């Protein structure tokens, strides 16, 4: 019985659409997060002087601090975007696939 359901899921074009969309979306989001993180790390490694520049005259905070906070904020925003799409589009498509596989 389980093998039959799995075979019906595998044969469903919606399943292949879901796998394709989710995979490409995950890759794009991963690249964005990695670009942000590694971009910041590369700045730390190769342009420390610029990151150490004070934001304004008489200020204690350097440019690196808000950029570091920005990395965290961007990661939270990208995670939120992914979760919202996963909970709406991906989950509804997944539910359709399961429903169709169990009907036959």
Q: Which tens digits make up the pLDDT trace of 75-98?
A: 999 999 999 999 999 999 999 999
What 8-state DSSP symbol labels residue 60? -
Half-sphere exposure of 1 (CA within 13 A, CB side): 2
- The pTM (predicted TM-score) of the whole model is 0.79
pLDDT band at 1 (very low <50, low <70, confident <90, very high): low
* Structural domain containing residue 11: 2-103
CA distance 68 to 89: 32
CA distance 66 to 79: 20
Specify the number of domains making up the chain. 1
CA distances from residue 4 to 8, 24, 26 in whole angstroms, order as listed: 6, 28, 29
> In terms of C-beta density within 10 A (0-12 exposed, 13-18 middle, 19 or more buried), how is residue 52 classed?
exposed
Which residues partner with 54 through β-bridges? 62
Q: Which tens digits make up the pLDDT trace of 39-62?
A: 999 999 999 999 999 998 888 899
């Amino acid at each position: 019985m389980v093998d039959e359901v799995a075979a019906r899921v595998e044969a469903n074009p919606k399943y292949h659409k879901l796998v394709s969309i989710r995979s490409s979306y995950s890759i794009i989001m991963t690249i964005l997060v990695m670009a942000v993180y590694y971009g910041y790390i590369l700045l730390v490694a190769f342009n420390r002087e610029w990151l150490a520049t004070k934001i304004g005259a008489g200020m204690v905070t350097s440019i690196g601090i808000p950029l570091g906070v920005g990395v965290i904020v961007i990661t939270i925003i990208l995670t939120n975007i992914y979760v919202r799409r996963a909970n709406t589009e991906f989950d509804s498509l997944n539910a359709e696939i399961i429903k169709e596989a169990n009907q036959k």
